[in-house]
Amino acid sequence: MIRRSPVTMELEKLRRFRAQVSPDLTMKEDVTRLFKDFSRQQKAANSLDDVWREIAPAAFVDRASIKKISNSGVLTIRTSDAAAAWEFDQWLRGGGMAELKKRCKTQIKSVRIEQ
């Protein structure tokens, strides 16, 4: 028979009463946060799309579209070709950027143009 010290016996007794808490392996909080972020971005993109259709010149509505807006305020515009990208850049520099910032509910820090 193995002799145990009183301290070891007391520790063993305490270990039996200790709550065995298993880690929370569910992804509920992560999925909820992701859904809220996605919903916020979707609402921002939809309102931005409405503003885009109102203020963009008629030539751009068919040749350029909003791809996304990031949490940091970077608006990404997708254009059909390089000529549309250049024209859109000129429109932004000529006052289009100020108009976008003024009319949008979301904060726009910069615009990125993709083809």
The SS3 call for residue 56 is: coil
What pLDDT, on the 0 to 100 scale, is given for residue 1? Answer: 62
Q: Which domains does the chain have, with CATH numbers?
A: 31-114 (3.30.300)
112 and 74 in contact (C-beta within 8 Å)? yes
Question: For 57-86, what is each residue's pLDDT tens digit?
Answer: 887 778 888 888 887 889 898 999 999 899
- pTM comes to 0.61
Residue for token digits 């392996």? 25
